[in-house]
Amino acid sequence: MIPAQRIALRDVDPEIYKAVGALNAYVRKGTLGKGLVALIDIRASQINGCAWCLDMHAEEAREAGIDRRRIDLVAAWREAGPLFSPRERAALAFAEAVTLIAESGVPDDIWAEIKAVFTDKEIVELLAAIGAINVYNRMNVAARTELGPEPYRVG
């Protein structure tokens, strides 16, 4: 049995999504690209168990030109070999470390990987993207936000 939605966040106060949306607007103006941000959003949402966000961000990844195979294998990106670029692999490792930050922080080796392939400005954008998806995940998982008939689209 699927647990019932606890609260309809958007119905109670649509401003809640707009508040976090401001952080997303900052990320969208940056240089990371829609595809990379979608991969980060998918990975954090997998870790956090947010079906609502996974549904939406898998659709965004497809719209950004990421093929189905890569979307399907995000959870196993380490084992997927060259299917993910060094830049994507560094971003996915960083997304995992930041999402699970209470476990072991961001290890020095992951930070070194990020520094090797991203500028300082892009690292700030990555942190904003990872922070935003984690806020959305936590709101939707706690509220048990129900999936709609189609993936939710921003905008």
| CA separation for the pair 94, 6 (Å, rounded) | 31
User: What single DSSP character describes residue 131?
Assistant: H
Residues of the chain with pLDDT under 70: 154-155
Supply the pLDDT for residue 154.
67
Supply the pLDDT for residue 5.
87
Query: Tokens 């707009």 identify what position?
Result: 18
Q: What is the domain class of 14-143 according to CATH?
A: mainly alpha
In the chain, where the domains are located: 14-143
